[in-house]
Amino acid sequence: MDLQKIFDNNEKWIEDKTQNDPAYFENLNKGQKPEVLYIGCSDSRVTAEDLMGMKPGELFVHRNVANVVNAIDLNAQSVINYAVTHLEVNHVVVCGHYSCGGVKAAMEAKDLGILNPWLRNIRDVYRAHKDELNSIEDEQKRYDRLVELNVKEQAINVVKMAGVQKAMRKRGMKIHGWVFDIKTGKLIDLKFDFQKVLEEIMEIYKLED
């Protein structure tokens, strides 16, 4: 790939944006007030703004391998805290996708070196739901179901955070679990009830103000 093409594309992008709105970048520079924090996978085929039809400034994004939210991952924790506490987003979306390489790798009994600690987060999801997953005979359907369960568990990890609990209680911020189907292009709401999840985990995870 000729990297100069990226800079050429950038120039064309600037031209397109300012053709009908000469002040486009001046206005963009004034600040951001996104409504949604999107936590997704780093997969190059899954671009958050494109699949959601969002414009610059409308979506705050964090991406990593298999959309994991780990309590000791300071990157993810900082992004979530900043989005929830300072930007005051109204929605937090954890979005996985079918055909996820990270989830598939976690299903395989292989030593993957430096990836092992990261993939253990997903293997822990498998362990927690092994009876359900092992009952699914079709490997592809089992793989897809782990993608969905991983979304749910990572979203629950979001709910466990103090700032998130505060925002849910005091201003009604919502948590969502979605999946993107690469085969069809459809965005699917898994319809998990995270308000109910919050109530169920409060005995252990409630963090007072």
Would you call 43 a catalytic residue per the annotation? yes
Would you call 100 a catalytic residue per the annotation? yes
Nearest to 55 by CA among 70, 38, 29, 34: 34
Please give, one letter per residue, the 3-state secondary structure of 54-118: CCCCCEEEEEECCCCCCCCCHHHHHHHHHHHHHCCCCEEEEEEECCCHHHHHHCCCCCCCCHHHH
Q: Among 8, 16, 21, 45, which one carries the catalytic annotation?
A: 45
Burial class (CB in 10 A: 0-12, 13-18, 19+), 33: exposed
Q: Among 2, 8, 16, 41, which one carries the catalytic annotation?
A: 41
Q: Among 62, 100, 144, 176, which one carries the catalytic annotation?
A: 100
Q: Among 62, 95, 97, 144, which one carries the catalytic annotation?
A: 97
Would you call 21 a catalytic residue per the annotation? no
Q: Among 43, 62, 95, 144, which one carries the catalytic annotation?
A: 43
What is the C-alpha end-to-end distance of the chain, expressed in Å?
A: 52
DSSP symbol at 46: -
Would you call 95 a catalytic residue per the annotation? no
The residues assigned a catalytic role are 41, 43, 45, 97, 100
